[in-house]
């Protein structure tokens, strides 16, 4: 399994290559191990360098890999030993896949588990209830579900009333979804 956002790189012109290198800071001593080259161009919301060439948005570290090693490693992922998404230094790259990249981040304790998890450190950033993008029912409808169940309605009947499946109703009633909603 590899990163599904990885796509083969297009051919680059000499103008593309020159423009790419103009966006790389190769000053010595950068990064955790002192061997990083910093991308000073545009960045994704995850902090990875982005580079536009041939009308395509490319990942800067993939372009750097190709320019340095002379080939596109597609479909492999390019992982960073330095763990710096801005780095485009070939000395910091290793080839892998989603599984090896996850194992590397787990081994280096970069994954946020337990109390370090974002849902615990910033609960206000987690959409819940009807504000969640996948919510099918309003908070008022969810609050009505236990009332309808107590009145003798089946899960299927409640689902038909609410416009969703009996499975969704069961998940709500058993606390597997919409946990944070206070029931009447």
Closest by CA to 31, choosing from 89, 106, 77, 109, is: 89
Task: Report the phi/psi class of residue 65: left, alpha or beta, with left for phi > 0 and alpha for psi in -120 to 50.
Answer: alpha
Q: What per-residue confidence (pLDDT) applies to 6?
A: 62
Inter-residue contact 180 to 143 (CB < 8 Å): no
Q: What per-residue confidence (pLDDT) applies to 32?
A: 84
Q: What per-residue confidence (pLDDT) applies to 184?
A: 44
Inter-residue contact 50 to 59 (CB < 8 Å): yes
Q: What per-residue confidence (pLDDT) applies to 50?
A: 95
Q: What per-residue confidence (pLDDT) applies to 155?
A: 95
Separation of alpha carbons 86 and 6, rounded Å: 17
CA max distance for the chain = 73
Note the pTM of the prediction, 2 decimals. 0.59
Which residues in the chain land under pLDDT 50? Answer: 1-4, 183-184
Q: What per-residue confidence (pLDDT) applies to 2?
A: 41
Which residue segments constitute the domains of the chain, with CATH numbers given? 14-111 (3.90.75), 127-173 (no CATH)
Q: What per-residue confidence (pLDDT) applies to 87?
A: 95
């Amino acid at each position: 399994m590899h990163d599904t956002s990885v796509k083969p790189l297009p051919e680059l012109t000499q103008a593309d290559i020159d423009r790419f290198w103009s966006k790389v800071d190769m000053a010595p001593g950068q990064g955790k191990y002192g061997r990083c080259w910093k991308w000073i161009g545009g960045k994704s919301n995850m902090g990875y360098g982005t580079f536009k060439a041939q009308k395509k948005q490319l990942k800067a570290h993939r372009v750097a890999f190709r320019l340095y090693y002379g080939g596109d490693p597609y479909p492999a992922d390019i992982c960073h030993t330095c763990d710096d998404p801005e780095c485009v230094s070939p000395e910091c790259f290793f080839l892998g896949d989603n599984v090896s990249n996850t194992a590397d981040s787990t081994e280096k304790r970069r994954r946020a588990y337990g109390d370090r998890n974002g849902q615990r450190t910033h609960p206000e950033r987690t959409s819940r209830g009807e504000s969640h993008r996948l919510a099918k029912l309003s908070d008022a409808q969810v609050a009505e579900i236990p009332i309808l169940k107590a009145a003798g309605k089946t899960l299927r009947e409640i689902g038909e009333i609410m416009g969703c499946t009996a499975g969704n109703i069961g998940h709500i009633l058993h606390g597997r979804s919409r946990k944070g909603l206070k029931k009447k």
